[in-house]
Amino acid sequence: MAKPIHVLNRRKVLVWGGMVGALLLSGGTLVRWLYKIDALPDLEHIHEPLLEQSFENFSAYEATVLHEVAGLIIPADQHPGAKEALVVVEFDQMAKNNERFKVLCQQGVRWLDEIANDLFQVKSFLQLDCSAQTKILLKADVPLKTVWEKISDKIQYGETHLGYTFFQSLKQQTFAVFYAHPMGWMTVGYHGPPQWSGHLDYHICV
Amino acid sequence: MAYSLSQAGFSVVVLEAGPRFDPTQYPLNQADWERLPKTFSASRDAQRDHYTSGPKEPLNPQYRHLQSWTEGEKVSVNKTHRAPPKVYRVKGVGGCTLHYQGEAHRFSPHAFKSRSLFGYGEDWPIQYEDLEPYYDKMEKLLGVAGDPNNPFKAPRGPFPNPPHRLSCASQRFKQGFDELGLQLHQNSVAILSRPYDGRVPCNYCNGCSQGCMMGSKSSMDVSLLPKAEATGNTRILANATAAQIQIDGEEKAKGVMFFDEKKQENFVHAKVVVLSASAMESPRLLLNSESKAFPDGLANRSGGVGLYFMETMFHDLTALFDEPIHSHKGLQIDARCWNYNFPNPSQSFQAGVVFGVSPLGLIGPGAYSKYLVHGWGKSHKDQMREYFGRTLHLFAIGEQHPHPNNQVKLDPTERDGFGLPVSQLATQLHANELEMLNFMAIRGKAISNAARVKRVLGEASAYDLSGITHMGGTCRMGSDPQRSVVNQFCQSHDVPNLFVVDASCFVTQGGGDSPSLTIQALALRAGEYLAKEARKGNI
């Protein structure tokens, strides 16, 4: 009697499982190497020139991308926004003592460029207009749902939820920095820290 | 106690687990004050302040509608258990008065007689009249500001200082209370409304919880402790963590073993030991002080140490108004409604409840962006403008009945940074509390509707969350040594030269009133008794 042929046996499952696992673990590094994502993208046709301030913890390119994103998070209207308040300078200071924040910002900038390339076939987030940039941030604002999305994110960027984590963190810090700045206070009609002036008009409603 | 004993000429050493704060260093005058670490939370030593919780408490699905929510955030329909106990406290010279909102409430006469009047809890071994002279004295020491014409409180004389005017925000919410025939009354607070005792009046910055830079809030570090130190009889050792009370062969306390700021073991001898470490830490210290004579913990022959823990029952509603009400300006809690402080037999629960209005943490734009306004872009900015200065909390605090199963125990395995067993809090909501929380939610909505708020932005309830600011029980006072830990003067039944003077000795919680003034009045009374008995040679 002929021996039955098993398409899958225990050994094959173990071997293939191991290979998939190894790919998942090394995927981020591999793809980073393949993509050479540390390289600066082509900066022709960017909408704004790079910031000229000297940054200690970010390159001028990274700082400019962060600056743009902050400006989309809190745009200027009749009052200044996060760009006018130069919140990116504070991000640079924060990065000095917070390695995790620094790395997240740097990875986030690369993620934005990747998505810009995927969706709009440009090499830099900075080459997009405001509406296209907003589309990318909207994508970043939604947590990944399916397991496949998460695995794919891990393989492609070395971290699950990179775009989401980066954007949530930057949003939170943009709010915190902007509303600790006189330009942020002006936006909502706040007059500054509680002391030493206090609010002696607290009982007046007009 | 330190104030009262040092005034009486006794030599006092205060062991304070936390540091001594300098009010001028509180960050409220910095441009980025909202980004800086909160003064008192930054000082916390996680290893030192560790505590654990008992088994998770399942939520009663019948009250699922009480589940906390915030606009823009999805409510979990699968939530099955209540959040573990979260205690808000400060370790530092001045203790929780450093971050309290200055409320200085007298418990009402009925609050001392809940068993005989309403059939729940126990009666205190003292009555309002026993405490009244000490309330008077303490109010004068602290410069309490208030309106004596509060129909829901015991008749009384004038406060040392006039009441604060209601803020614009409170005036606006008062319209809702008025429409329902309820009284939103000026709160009595240990916050100066005029210059008093060498201190300046409040300038209404609303930052009370983050430490008063002006020294207008009568926290202990700026009011009584300087007076105690000025006598030359009181020495305060900051960063000194009491670890064990030791006894002599006659079963009397002989002193306290503590760890100093270098974490070195030390011992201070004492003729009398007074424990004022809170309803969570006082029982822990007693339980950690077991000996041959007291194998179940010091002063615990009744078995009552740690039992009858009462936490904070609250409901909070965040209300948005159409027009600017300048809700970031004023006092933290300048108005309270005592209509429900007296338990009503026709209600489905038996307990006192007090409503109040407050911006709580919403006193700067950073807090709005962190807690309320979640979007980004143009809509975020528009929403910030729509919300800032127009949002106010309407909250209710009620009393939890004392249950023997709600307790502070020693965790069998967890240790703090000194190797000492930590407190384990086991609390549970019973039917009465659930009905009370339901009542708070229903009335809260009715009041906010009557005030014509634009929108409710969220609700938080002790049904599924824990936020313990007021706690009591655990070393309750009583006349019967078999059923209580201390007597009416906060003196241990078992160890006559040991006193427990904090909210641990509370028998009930005062129907939603804040506990600080009652703790302080009890301390003055206990101090006076201690001094008298010591002079007679009885202690």
Confidence of residue B72 (pLDDT cuts 50, 70, 90): confident
SS3 content of chain A, % helix, strand, coil (to 5): 60, 0, 40
Across the A:B interface, residue pairs with CB atoms under 8 Å apart total 130
Distance, CA of B326 to CA of B322 (rounded, Å): 12
Distance, CA of B372 to CA of B391 (rounded, Å): 10
- What pLDDT, on the 0 to 100 scale, is given for residue A17? 63
The reply to whether residue A180 touches residue B370, judged by beta carbons under 8 angstroms, is no
Whether residue A177 lies within 8 A of chain B, CB to CB, comes out as: yes
Q: Give one DSSP letter per residue of B270-333, joined into a string.
A: -SSEEE-SHHHHHHHHHHTT--SS-TT-TT-TTS-TT-S-B--EEEEEEEE-SS---TTSB-SS
Q: What confidence tens digit (pLDDT) does each residue in B165-179 have? A: 999 999 999 999 999
- Do B499 and B486 contact (CB within 8 A), yes or no? yes
Mean pLDDT, contiguous 10-residue spans, chain A (206 residues): 54 62 51 48 73 92 97 97 97 96 96 94 95 96 78 72 94 97 96 96 94
Q: In which element (H, E) is residue A31 found?
A: helix A10-35
Distance, CA of B167 to CA of B185 (rounded, Å): 12
Over residues B132-155, the mean pLDDT reads 98
| pLDDT > 70: percent of chain B | 99
- What pLDDT, on the 0 to 100 scale, is given for residue A114? 93
Q: What confidence tens digit (pLDDT) does each residue in B9-58 have? A: 999 999 999 999 999 999 999 999 999 988 887 556 777 788 999 999 99
**A93, A80, B392, B434 alpha-carbon torsion, rounded to 10°:** -50
Instruction: Name the DSSP letter for residue B456.
Output: E
Hey, which residues 378-397 in chain B have their CB within 8 Å of chain A?
A: 378, 380-381, 384-385, 388-389
- Closest-CA residue of A relative to B379 is A74
Give residue limits of the domains in chain A: 10-188
Q: What does the mean pLDDT of chain B come to? A: 96
Confidence of residue B82 (pLDDT cuts 50, 70, 90): very high
- What pLDDT, on the 0 to 100 scale, is given for residue A148? 76
Structural domains for chain B: 2-19+65-299+307-358+390-536 (3.50.50.60)
The minimum CA-CA distance between B200 and chain A, rounded to whole Å, is 13
- What pLDDT, on the 0 to 100 scale, is given for residue A53? 84
Whether residue B205 lies within 8 A of chain A, CB to CB, comes out as: yes
Q: What confidence tens digit (pLDDT) does each residue in B477-525 have? A: 999 999 999 999 999 999 999 999 999 999 999 999 999 999 999 999 9
How far from A110 is each of A56, A74, A138, B180, B516, CA to CA, in Å?
19, 21, 17, 59, 55
Nearest Cβ partner for B376 among A171, A190, A192: A171
Distance, CA of B469 to CA of B474 (rounded, Å): 15
Confidence of residue B260 (pLDDT cuts 50, 70, 90): very high
| pLDDT > 90: percent of chain B | 95
Chain B partners within 8 Å of A179 (Cβ): 34, 364-366, 368-369
Which of B280, B274, B244 is CA-nearest to residue B259? B244
Paired tokens of B42 = 């930054």
Whether residue A78 lies within 8 A of chain B, CB to CB, comes out as: no
Contacts of B289-292 with C-beta under 8 Å, sequence gap 24+, read: B289/B244, B289/B245, B289/B246, B291/B246, B291/B247
Over residues B111-124, the mean pLDDT reads 97
Whether residue B24 lies within 8 A of chain A, CB to CB, comes out as: no
Average the pLDDT over each of A152-166, B267-281, B325-339, B447-461 and give the range with the smallest value: A152-166
- Which ipTM was obtained for this model? 0.91
Whether residue A198 lies within 8 A of chain B, CB to CB, comes out as: yes
**B62, B400, B412, B14 alpha-carbon torsion, rounded to 10°:** 150
- What pLDDT, on the 0 to 100 scale, is given for residue A34? 45
Measured in residues, chain B has a length of 539
